[in-house]
A = this chain, B = another copy of it.
Amino acid sequence: MSAATTLSDRVRELLPAIAERAPETERLRRVPEETIAELRSVGYLRAFVPAKYGGLEVSPYELAQATRILAGACTSTAWAAQLLAVHAHPIANFSPRLQEEVWGADPDTLLCSSVAPMGKATQVDGGIRLSGRYSWSSGCEHASWAIVGFKMPGTSGEPEPHFAVVPRDDYRIEDTWHVMGLKGTGSQDLVMEDVFVPDHRVESVIGMNLGMSQGYGTHPAPLFGLPFLPVFSLGFSVVGLGAAEALRDLYQQRLSTRVRAYTGTKVSQSTPALVRLAEATHELRCAARLLEHDWEAMQARAESTEPATWDDLVEWRGNQAYATRLCVRAADRLFEASGGGAVRDESTMQRLWRDIHAGAAHAYSDYDVAAQTVGAHLAGIAPPEGSF
């Protein structure tokens, strides 16, 4: 691949094949191997892998833009693949020993995750013993390691969220992914039973956000100085944006051809249909402007000597959740005016619409929580427990 092309340019060439494979992806309930191979071939899955291991170290902006167009072709693929790609960012902040274990032999090694602190951990000599059922692990069938969450006492002595990185042999995958949207992400359950995880594979989430992890500073690229959370969550909003933009484009194309069943009138002569197109376009433009601005701000933070502040984290998180809400609103506005034909399985509109809703159901995109966090922060009072 040429250095002159952007990641988006290279991903764009894959889109026709990936779009054609979208129904099969839903049927398989996971991303097809073929698609993984293609995304690997253009470097998408190594976007955030350190250069030391042959990665691209692109900016959050560049990965986001590539993910945006990928989501329009197959939202499930984009959801799972961006997580597989993004997970390189936290790993580059784990201990050098773990990094070597993961990438030393094969820089194409992929990791899945399930980061809510659902596991039970016991501290033992040299590490922890961990048990738990970890749901929603998108793309896990392509991964050799899993990043999973649990709580144990941190520097404060209080239970704090931590991550453990666990090799594929130490957990089993249970096939539970039967859902109404994002069917192709293969977001299965990972089951761990009393697994030993040595200390060099464990980090505190707070440490990952504050630059205090074992591997912090391992790599010179500015990317790796960014806190865990905004990078990890980068994809949730942009996948929704890309899918909603694709839905909008389909609506726009149909407008010139669709005829109402009962009346025979052309929908393009229907003022409400035009108003919906405009309003959805404005909503998506707002979402895009919010996100693009923040991707640039992240990069500026990465390149500056001033680390991201708490203000930044609250603002970015709130904007991501609000952008997702705007995408849902736009998608509903268009889909509900697309007529009975749009509910048929062969309609790409209904697939995109289901996927947008399933993605927005992710806890991170819950605007009820994000709005309380943002509002409390602005009002100068403590946010509700567990906002981050």
Q: What residues make up the interface of A, taking CB atoms closer than 8 Å to B?
A: 116-118, 135-136, 178-182, 252, 255-256, 260-265, 268, 270-279, 281-282, 285-286, 289-290, 293, 318-319, 322, 326, 328, 332, 335-340, 342-346, 350, 354, 357-358, 360-363, 366, 368-376, 378-381, 384-387
A135 contacts across to B, CB distance below 8 A: 340
Contacts A342-B361, A345-B180, A380-B256 known; A337 to B366 CB distance under 8 Å?
A: yes
Contacts A255-B379, A379-B274 known; A363 to B262 CB distance under 8 Å?
A: yes
Assess the A361–B375 pair: CB atoms within 8 A.
no
**Which of B272, B276, B293, B358 is within 8 Å of A343, CB to CB?**
B358
Assess the A180–B293 pair: CB atoms within 8 A.
no
A273 to B278, CA, bound (A): 17
Assess the B374–A281 pair: CB atoms within 8 A.
yes
Chain B residue with the shortest CB-CB distance to A176: B344
Assess the A136–B340 pair: CB atoms within 8 A.
yes
A252 contacts across to B, CB distance below 8 A: 378-379
Assess the A278–B116 pair: CB atoms within 8 A.
no
How many copies of the polypeptide does the oligomer hold? 4
Contacts A282-B318, A289-B293, A366-B337 known; A379 to B277 CB distance under 8 Å?
A: yes
A386 contacts across to B, CB distance below 8 A: 260, 262-265
| Nearest 4 Cβ contacts at the A-B interface | A263-B386, A274-B375, A271-B271, A289-B289
A62 to B122, CA, bound (A): 60
Assess the B362–A282 pair: CB atoms within 8 A.
no
Q: What are 13 of the A-B contact pairs (CB < 8 Å)?
A: A252-B378, A252-B379, A256-B379, A272-B371, A274-B371, A274-B379, A276-B375, A278-B370, A278-B374, A279-B371, A282-B318, A285-B319, A286-B289
Assess the B372–A278 pair: CB atoms within 8 A.
yes
Assess the B277–A378 pair: CB atoms within 8 A.
yes
Assess the A282–B322 pair: CB atoms within 8 A.
yes
A255 to B376, CA, bound (A): 10
A265 contacts across to B, CB distance below 8 A: 384-386
Assess the A262–B361 pair: CB atoms within 8 A.
no
A179 to B353, CA, bound (A): 13
Chain B residue with the shortest CB-CB distance to A249: B378
In the assembled complex, the CB of A288 is this many whole angstroms from the nearest CB of chain B, namely: 9
Chain B residue with the shortest CB-CB distance to A380: B256
In the assembled complex, the CB of A255 is this many whole angstroms from the nearest CB of chain B, namely: 5
In the assembled complex, the CB of A356 is this many whole angstroms from the nearest CB of chain B, namely: 11
In the assembled complex, the CB of A298 is this many whole angstroms from the nearest CB of chain B, namely: 15
A376 to B273, CA, bound (A): 9
A342 contacts across to B, CB distance below 8 A: 361
